[in-house]
Amino acid sequence: MQNRRHWILLATLIVAACGSVPPVVERPASRPTAPERRPSTKSNEVVMFALGLIDTGYRFGGKNPEAGLDCSGMVSYIFNQATGLKVTGNAAEIARKGLPIEKSRLQPGDLVFFNTRNAPFSHVGVYIGDDRFVHAPSSTGRVRIDRLSAGYFAARFEAARSYFD
């Protein structure tokens, strides 16, 4: 009989717990929720232009596909052609002019920056989604796609920037 009361009490507690309302957990006031970012028409155009440059030759200081591109020249060319935006300068200057965003909030068309020559913001690429970016590395001599999570780039990732609202 004692054992039966024990099981009835336990079942009552379980049923009561299932019917109770969980406490409301409030977010701290110091951490507002940022609005959701969605790719724009312009950012999609940037991605399409970037993909169109795959296998273009590399050239230090290069600013057009016919002569060859370096990383910042590639970004300048893409943004000018795809959106009409004048995004100029070396990778560090391009980073200074962009809107800082968290890596976890990257959207296609955003820019990703790396420290590849022991210099902050020494390399830039165009994020295309799914952990991938298009860039013009001097090491292979061609514009290509790589993953942000790849060992070399994961260790050298510095920041992300957007030129879109």
Per residue in 12-57, pLDDT (tens digit) is: 433 333 343 333 334 444 433 335 666 678 999 999 999 999 999 9
Whether 71 is catalytic is yes
Annotated catalytic residue within 46, 50, 69, 71: 71
Annotated catalytic residue within 123, 128, 144, 164: 123
Task: Note the pLDDT of residue 115.
Answer: 97
Task: Note the pLDDT of residue 37.
Answer: 61
pTM: 0.77
Given its phi and psi angles, is residue 89 left (phi above 0), alpha (psi -120 to 50 degrees) or beta? left
Give the CATH number for residue 81: 3.90.1720.10
Residues facing residue 64 across a β-bridge: 68
Judged by DSSP in three states, 130 sits in coil
First to last CA, the chain: 70
Residue 93 lies in a domain: yes
Task: Note the pLDDT of residue 40.
Answer: 76
Domain count, the chain: 1
Task: Note the pLDDT of residue 7.
Answer: 38
Residue 28 lies in a domain: no
Q: Which two tokens stand for residue 113?
A: 């920056």
Residue 20 lies in a domain: no
Whether 123 is catalytic is yes
Task: Note the pLDDT of residue 35.
Answer: 52
- Residue numbers in the chain where pLDDT is lower than 50: 1-34
Annotated catalytic residue within 135, 143, 144, 164: 135
Q: Which domain holds residue 141?
A: 41-162
74 touches 81 (CB < 8 A): no
Residue 1 lies in a domain: no
